[in-house]
Structure 1
Amino acid sequence: MVFSGLKRTENLNKMEDQQLDLLVVGGGITGAGIALDASSRGLQTGVIDMQDFAAGTSSRSTKLVHGGLRYLKQFEVKLVAEVGKERAIVYENAPHVTQPEWMLLPIYKEGTFGKFSTSIGLKVYDFLAKVRRHERRTMLSREETLEKEPMLKKEGLQGGGYYVEYRTDDARLTIEVMKGAVSRGVTAVNYTKAEDLLYDDKGKLVGVKAVDLLTNETYKIYAKKVVNATGPWVDDLREIDHSKKGKYLHLTKGIHIVIDGGRFPMDQAIYFDTTNGDGRMIFAIPREGKVYIGTTDTTYKDEPVNPRMTSTDRDYLLEAINGMFPTMKLTAEDVESSWAGVRPLIHEEGKSPSEISRKDEIFVSNSNLITIAGGKLTGYRKMAERVVDLVSQQLHEEDGREFGRCMTDIIKLSGGDVGGSGHFEDFIGEMVKKGVHEGFSDEEAKAIAEKYGSNAEWIFDIAKDNKDTAKRYGLPADILATVIYGIENEMVVTPVDYFTRRRGATLFHIQWVKTWKEAVIRYMSDRFGWSDEQRAGYIEELELALTEAVTPVE
């Protein structure tokens, strides 16, 4: 299959010309996971998303494939056990987008976790999540805790817990899952909205009427089964299906802010209590020379397409950081960038946003619209397995076909063929040698290998073949190569697709985006043949993204 931004129309025509076994509406991590699982079992599968892949919640998380330690407080034992085990699977199958991150949990007098409860909680966590021996928790004295992070508030500090989480690039994880699905025959297209649903004369769902939002062309896509994996928009599709009954979504918003590491020189990831007494906990995580802090958890009732940081959100996190790191005295001017995401939780009466369960649930309507709601990034693979088990069972009952069990626990994601997680550093070393041989600096080659994994060689080859083009557009070879790779192999069609979701640069390297945006847009405009009007629109979209990353909405 082709996963090129230049082949979207071709892919939509292909979907319209056949009856699929399964159409997945929604191209976030859940939809991508369903597509990979379904295709690996032999189902002819298509995916559409009204935005770019991962443009919703799946690029706006805390960027942790984590076991959910705090869910032990809510006695969500099964959830902790499942997602804890899933961390290791994601890491093994995609070590280029998932890395262990030792997390320090400082313990304060009258804090959320006491010394004894932290020790027991982390031990239970290790057991439930089947944490590898060398990654099991360690309890630290007050002195050892301050040695790990000297900037911590010293008053009331009793010690700390030290345990492993897994840091990820959520958008790239989603893209790598989707690329794995496409390599197994899935047809996937972004910027294509399910505008209406199609039914047979018995009222059973048989497909969707979809509109390509970039061309305004309309397509009728027929499928034996349709899965609603649209995250914050699942109730919108249920309303079209007239099946929004009983349980419904409760959207909550979480924001993160990014501070330069020079201003906030922290090397140790921290999970800590807010000091305002609201009982919430916050992450502060170093990444790529920056530190990002989050998250908030507030009920959200606006349109979820473009949630924004408010000054109240920002100030809440700054207060939390300054309370735990009193020498920092961070202000709004120190915030380089931010992002906001919406969690599609299943409503529970009387519970605050932070108390609502992160468990997923499947709804099946009278028309047989299959909806997956709730859940966490970490649990995407098991959510997909449950959905595809249901779809496979229905198809077997209808036409007798047999489908195998879920195999995604052993499927390497795109870019993951690096010899296993234990050999990733060796792989990086080899890739750096190859990159340097092709004219890259050590730093450039390492950055590409770490982000693209085993696809790095492909990018090195693209750079070698396009040196003259890079000079013509005034772009470094490594940047142009990733733009070309993104267009041809990751369905990049807009500058924001590239800068925000394929590179993560709008979030963590906003100045880099400002430096190279004009040259990248010039190349993309020529490659796609944009009109002056289209080009102006995409420039405006990127400028808006850069502004909104820094400027709060009131």
Structure 2
Amino acid sequence: MTRPELTGAPFDVVVIGAGINGLGIAQDAALRGLRVALLEQEDLCSGVSAWSGRLVHGGLRYLEQYDVRLVRESLQERERLFTLAPHLCHPVPLMIPLFKHNRRPGWMVELGMVAYDALSVGKTPPMHRVLTKGRAAKRFTGISHDGLQGAVVFYDGQLELAERLCVELAVDARTNGAVIATHVRVDAPILADGRVRGVRWTDRLTGETGETHADLVYNVAGPWIDRALAAEGVPVQPRLNGGTKGSHLIVDPFPGAPTDVVYYESRRDGRLVLIIPWMGRYLIGTTDIRFEDDPSTARCDIGEAEYLLGEVNALIPEAHLSLDDVLFTYSGVRPLPYVPDTAESSVPRSHVLHDHADTGIRGLVTVVGGKLTTYRQLAQDAVDDIFRRRERPAPPCPTRRRLLPGAQVADLAALRRSLAARSSLPADVVDRLVRLYGSRAVQVVDLVGADPALAEVVDPRSRLIAAELLFAVDTDLACTLTDVLARRVLVAFQPGHGLESVDRAVQVLGDHLGWDEDRRRREVDGYRTWLQVLAVPDPAGPRSESFGAGATVTTAARSATAAAGARA
């Protein structure tokens, strides 16, 4: 049996889904003394948590929906992340250009910013500033002057490496007793006498099946929440997921590119578009399209790409971006509630704990909605709910002030100097380790101290060293090569996506884990296949109905292959 940790005595709660919300619940529940098992069909942060714009924000546009509570909650949680994970989350300036064509007049934007500042009393970042046309053009030299009236600059947060945040939550949860089982698909809830008694599952790596027992199950599968309940013998449940697809393009720095995050209204149709500096490149996004298919199949299509490129070219006349400039793309399906006949941008972003007792399954709760910024508050609400259902007083929530594992050293500059002094690792390797792992970089350096061969630079472009590969599987819960490269060491998002070094990486991992040649070959093939999620769309491919062919861009015909994401 390959998953004995999932069988045996019942757990207090089973959590389905290892996105940011499921991991937050597992961490909080374990810290409050509950026996929790978390099951995930793929890997940590393998779904929508990785496919956002990687901003930690209060949700300025939610003010338009008069959702003041969500904005206030988001701003509070944003501030907490600056404290709890300063190695991963930091303030960044955002600019909102004010143009004559904007559907939101300048006075409305400024009024919104006053409210935004008022709702974030005690915040770390500076208050907003209003810029004249001249000052806006001086700060953002590439901006179009056509109709420009000025700009507003304010601050939110950026989480460049969302995957690393998820990994640290999982590590903290496991350290405190949670069982984290990845690549285990929940096939159906176990029901008896109208009550949930656990879940049936399949290990997707071995094909083994089994059961994990608990009288509380929290379905936190994001856009897959309905699939998790669609099984034979389960009473018909109401549709809960109404997710929308959001796509991003990744490009290298280009003429006229901003230094701030730029958040602006499309001249064409009033949609909000973002240009986000990210890891030395730029994210351009995002779209908001109803998506009815399997969330795993979400891809950026040519209509979305042409639209986003056209918008950037209109805002920045010297950019001249074309499809040939797109290095890779990604898409995710937002886990929004199902609200038919409602505009995509108006669907609520707040979370709901849906109790299935009224439809014949007591003890089953589905978490609907939520967003990256507010994962901790969502988790607190869910764990408080678990204690209420177990008729036990809830202990105080510890995550309000609990530093993440990589945040145990406040002075990262001093940590860099210390690690450089105690090891023979090059400065750029030490910089990489501290940026990815924060204070946990010490553990990686200790591996090199114990075995100097692990100082080998496996991927020269990213400066990935062999010790990181072992750390990924021994400590950071990775099971496959794709887990390691895409969601632990993150070379998947670096130039070349690690393809030049993939053979050496699988050799290091294979020697350490005892993989035979067939397993090594399958791991490399699996990673190359996974890279299709980053493919640049084919100009002749399908086009979302929401986007016509009117965007003014140049496209070059080429097809997406398994290595389409590798053009960097």
The verdict on a shared fold, with TM-score over 0.5 as the criterion, is: yes
CA–CA distance in structure 2, aligned partners of residues 306 and 335 of structure 1:
20
Q: Which residue of 2 aligns with 1:103?
A: 94
Q: Which residue is equivalent to 2:442?
A: 457
CA distance in 1, matches of 2:327, 2:236: 40
Question: 2:153 is matched with which residue?
Answer: 162
> Of the two structures, which has the highest relative contact order with CA contacts closer than 8 Å and spacing of 6 or more?
1
Residues in 1 aligned to 2:535 and 2:417: alpha-carbon distance in whole angstroms: 34
Distance 1:548 1:232 in 2: 17
CA distance, structure 1, for counterparts of residue 116 and residue 33 of structure 2: 36
Query: SS of 1:205's equivalent?
Result: strand
Equivalent in the alignment of 2:368: 373
Contact kept, 8 Å, 1:440 with 1:478, in 2: the verdict is no
Q: CA deviation at 1:473?
A: 7.3
Deviations 1:152-205 (A, max 9, x none): 1111111111111111022211111111111211110100011122123x2211
* Residue number in structure 1 paired with 2:475: 489
1:524-549, Cα deviation, whole Å (9 max, x unpaired): 22223334333222212222233442
Alignment check: 8 A CA contact 2:447 2:454 kept: no
Q: 1 CA distance for matches of 2:456 and 2:428?
A: 20
CA contact (8 A) 2:78 2:373 kept: yes
| 1:383 matched to 2:383 | no
Which runs of no fewer than 5 residues in structure 1 stay unpaired? 1-8, 420-425
Choose the corresponding residue for 2:128, options 128, 137, 140: 137
- Residue 469 of structure 1 and its aligned partner are, at CA, apart by 4.9
Structure 2 residue 37 is the aligned partner of structure 1 residue 51: no
| Greater shift in the superposed pair: 474-483 or 92-101 | 474-483
- Whether 2:20 is the aligned partner of 1:29: answer yes
Give the AA of the match of 2:412: F
2:350 and 2:370 in contact (8 A); partners too: yes
Secondary structure at the counterpart of residue 474 of structure 2: helix
In 2 relative to 1, CA 522–402 (structure 1 residues): closer, same or farther, beyond 3 Å? same
Contact 2:251–2:283, Cα closer than 8 Å, also in 1 = yes
Are the structure 2 counterparts of residues 473 and 118 from structure 1 closer, same or farther at C-alpha, using a change threshold of 3 Å? closer
Percentage identity across aligned positions?
A: 27
Task: Show structure 2 runs of 5+ residues with no match.
Answer: 542-568
2:525 to 540, 548, 551: 540
Distance 1:378 1:17, change over 3 A: same
Given that 2:45 and 2:166 are in contact with CA atoms closer than 8 Å, whether structure 1 keeps it comes out as yes
Residue in 1 that maps onto 2:253: 261
1:196 equivalent in alignment to 2:188: yes
1:413-464 deviations in whole A, cap 9, x for unaligned? 1211123xxxxxx323332342354122222212211221110111111123
Return the alpha-carbon distance in structure 1 between the equivalents of residues 254 and 148 of structure 2: 26
Q: Tell me what 2:286 maps to.
A: 295
Alpha-carbon distance in 2 for matches of 1:477, 1:68:
35
Higher helix share: 1
User: What does 1:271-420 align with in structure 2 at a 5 Å threshold?
Assistant: 271-276=263-268, 278-366=269-357, 367=361, 368-396=363-391, 401-419=392-410
Counterpart-to-counterpart distance in 2, 1:547 and 1:512: 12
Question: Does the C-alpha gap of structure 1 residues 244 and 353 become closer, same or farther in structure 2, counting only changes over 3 Å?
Answer: farther
Report the secondary structure of 1:481's partner residue.
Answer: helix
Question: CA 1:386–1:461 in 2, change beyond 3 Å: closer, same or farther?
Answer: same
Match of 1:187 in 2: 179
Distance in 2 (CA, whole Å) between partners of 1:204 and 1:387 is: 19
Moved over 4 A (4+): 262-265, 469-478
Q: Is the 8 A contact 2:79 2:124 kept in 1?
A: no
**Offset at 1:228?**
0.4
Cα displacement (A) at 1:141: 1.1
Query: Which letter does structure 1 place at the counterpart of 2:510?
Result: S
Aligned residue among 208, 215, 223 for 2:199: 208
Equivalent residue for 2:141? 150
Counterpart Cα distance in 2 of 1:288 and 1:479: 19
Query: Distance in 2 between the 1:436 and 1:266 partners?
Result: 37
| Alignment partners' CA distance in 2, 1:94 and 1:22 | 27
Report whether the alignment pairs 1:248 with 2:240.
yes
Query: Aligned partners of 2:499, 2:458: CA distance in 1, in Å?
Result: 16
Q: Distance in 2 between matches of 1:341 and 1:477?
A: 28
Deviation, structure 1 residue 245: 3.8
2:500 alignment partner in structure 1: 515
Per the alignment, in what secondary structure is the counterpart of residue 349 of structure 1?
Answer: coil
- Specify the SS of the correspondent of 2:55: coil
**CA separation in 1, counterparts of 2:236 and 2:117?**
39
C-alpha contact 1:463 1:478 (8 A) present in aligned 2: no
Counterpart in 2 of 1:467? Answer: 452
The Cα of 1:263 is off from its aligned counterpart by 5.9
For 1:53, what is the secondary structure of its paired residue? coil
Query: Quick one: which amino acid aligns to residue 380 of structure 1?
Result: Y
Match of 1:176 among 168, 174, 178: 168
CA-CA distance at 1:477 after TM superposition: 8.3
Measure, in 2, the Cα distance between the counterparts of 1:122 and 1:517: 47
1:66-118 deviations in whole A, cap 9, x for unaligned? Answer: 11111111211111111111101112101111111111111111314322212
Structure 1: distance between partners of 2:42 and 2:264: 34
TM-score (norm 1): 0.91
Pairwise CA RMSD of aligned residues?
Answer: 2.1
- The answer as to whether partners of 1:432 and 1:446 remain within 8 angstroms in 2 is no
Distance in 2, Cα, partners of 1:233 & 1:280: 27
